[in-house]
Amino acid sequence: MKNLWLFLVRYNAFFWFILFFIISLLLVVQHNRFQRSTYLNSSHVVVGSFYSKLNSWKSYLSLDETNKNLAQENAQLRQQLQAFLLKDSNNHVELIDSIALNRYQFTVAEVVNNSVHQKSNFITINKGSKDGVESGLGVITSTGVVGMVLHVSEHFSTIQSLLHPDTRISVTLDTTNVFGSLVWGNNVDPRFALVRDIPNHLKVEKGQKIYTSGFSLFPKGIEIGKVEETGITSGESFLDIKIKLNTNFSNLNHVYVVKDLLELEKNKLEEITNDNNG
């Protein structure tokens, strides 16, 4: 306390100067219109700049919540979009089945673990049986196919990634009705995959888009990637096509678990048909 008092006594002239200077500024601003206007404008600029920076920091801190909200909104929009992919062959009439409108249910999940450089790659998400996730469901992202649900606990699920040698997905070329199987095979590059069982008489060009066919776990019409290399012969009647995947598996954050609400009904009907034919 004594040191503080000695400091104030020693520099009392400086503090008195600061005090009188502030008082004089206040008097000038208060009694002069021009100076008052200048002061107010300057203060508004400073305060506005401060709040702008503050809001920028707040926005940055809330990015995680914003991303979750956007992913949820994308899931709802994707569910609505599926209805418009079913069209009548007549180009002038679009028939939307009311059942198809709600056929697929999309559940947003966050990726908590992921591998891309193993021979068999897996992904872990933070949604499980408590959220309606079941083994065998398809998993997609906003840019393409991710894989299929393998094991489920109450709060988590593991996904057999597309980057797995046992994953096979039915796909089609954009300008044809030809179907093939999308596989990663023994590829070591997570950016590329192969489409197999394409008839070798078919003319395939680089840049053609590859879509899900709708014959597997995934809705029809999801773009998976583009043709990168053609003419890879896999037999006398078929060829393989190398494609570049749209999905960046090294940077997965949010995914969508896809549940086909009519899958059980379809499987039961097919079982009855197979039993009758057997």
Given this model, what pLDDT does residue 50 score? 55
Answer yes or no: are the C-beta atoms of 129 and 259 closer than 8 Å. no
Residue 109: strand pairing partners: 255
Local mean pLDDT, 10-residue blocks, the chain (278 residues): 68 74 70 57 49 54 64 65 48 41 81 88 91 92 91 92 92 84 82 87 86 86 89 70 90 88 80 74
Q: In this structure, how many other beta carbons lie within 10 angstroms of the beta carbon of residue 253?
A: 12
Q: Hey, CA dihedral for 193, 218, 118, 67, is it positive or negative?
A: positive
Find the largest Cα–Cα distance for the chain: 107
Q: What's the confidence (pLDDT) of residue 89?
A: 38
Q: CB–CB of 132/141 below 8 Å? A: no
User: Which fold is adopted by the domain 105-261?
Assistant: Thrombin, subunit H (2.40.10)
Predicted local confidence at residue 93, as pLDDT:
37
Report whether 206 contacts 228 (CB < 8 A).
yes
pLDDT score for 262: 82
Q: Could you write out the DSSP letters of every residue in 211-259?
A: EE-SSSSS-TT-EEEEEEEEEEE-SSSEEEEEEEESS-GGG--EEEEEE
Residue 96: the pLDDT is: 40
Question: DSSP assignment of 137-183, as one string?
Answer: -EEEETTEEEEEEEEE-SS-EEEEESSSTT-EEEEEETTS--EEEEE
Give the type of residue at 96. Answer: I
Residue 136 contacts residue 122 (beta carbons within 8 Å)? no
Question: From residue 55, how far is each of 66, 235, 270 by CA, in Å?
Answer: 14, 61, 57
- Residue 259 CA from chain centroid, whole number: 17
State residue 94's pLDDT score.
40
What is the model's pTM? 0.66
Nearest to 218 by CA among 71, 85, 68: 85
C-alpha separations of 207 from 14, 54, 198, 246, 266 in Å: 76, 46, 16, 12, 35
The domain limits of the chain are 105-261
Give the separation between CA 147 and CA 257, rounded to whole angstroms: 9
Q: Which amino acid is at 18?
A: I
In this prediction, residue 202 carries a pLDDT of: 81
